[in-house]
Amino acid sequence: MISDTPPIHFRADVLVPAVRAAFDRGHTRPLTWRVAQLQALDRMLVEDADAIHAALQADLGKCAVESRLTETAFLRAEIAHALKHLRRWLRPKRVAIPLSLQPASGRLVPEPLGVVLVIAPWNYPVQLLLAPLIGALAAGNAVVLKPSEVSPNVAATLARLVPRYLDNDAVVLVEGGVAETTALLRQQFDHIFYTGNSTVARVVMAAAAQHLTPVTLELGGKSPLWIDDSVDMTVAARRIAWAKFLNAGQTCVAPDYVLATPAVADTLIAHLRIAIRELYGSDPRTNPEYGRIINDHHVERLLARIDPDRCVIGGGHDAGDRYIAPTVLYPATADDASMQDEIFGPVLPIVPVADAEAALAFIRERPKPLALYAFTSNRTLRQRFIDETSSGALAFDFAVAHLSAPDMPFGGIGNSGMGAYHGEASLRIFSHFKPVMTKPLWPDTLRLIFPPYGKTVERVIDWLLVRG
Q: Which residues pair with 143 in a beta bridge?
A: 116, 171
Active site residue 218: yes
For residues 468 and 462, what is the distance between their CA atoms, to the nearest angstrom?
A: 8
For residues 65 and 398, what is the distance between their CA atoms, to the nearest angstrom?
A: 21
For residues 183 and 5, what is the distance between their CA atoms, to the nearest angstrom?
A: 8
For residues 5 and 261, what is the distance between their CA atoms, to the nearest angstrom?
A: 53
Helices marked H in 61-115: 64-67, 73-90
DSSP one-letter code for 44 = H
Burial of 28 (0-12, 13-18, 19+ CB in 10 A): buried
Residue 193 has phi, psi (to 5 degrees) of: -115, 115
Q: Which residues pair with 396 in a beta bridge?
A: 374
For residues 135 and 341, what is the distance between their CA atoms, to the nearest angstrom?
A: 31
- Catalytic annotation, pick one of 252, 278, 311, 424: 252
Active site residue 252: yes
* Residues ≥6 apart with Cβ < 8 Å to 103: 439, 440, 443, 445
Helices marked H in 107-151: 127-138
Q: Which of 435, 445, 448, 429 is CA-nearest to residue 96?
A: 435
Number of neighbouring beta carbons within 10 Å of residue 380:
8
- Catalytic annotation, pick one of 66, 218, 342, 424: 218
E strands of 154-248, at which residues? 171-173, 191-195, 215-218, 224-227
For residues 324 and 48, what is the distance between their CA atoms, to the nearest angstrom?
A: 30
Active site residues: 218, 252
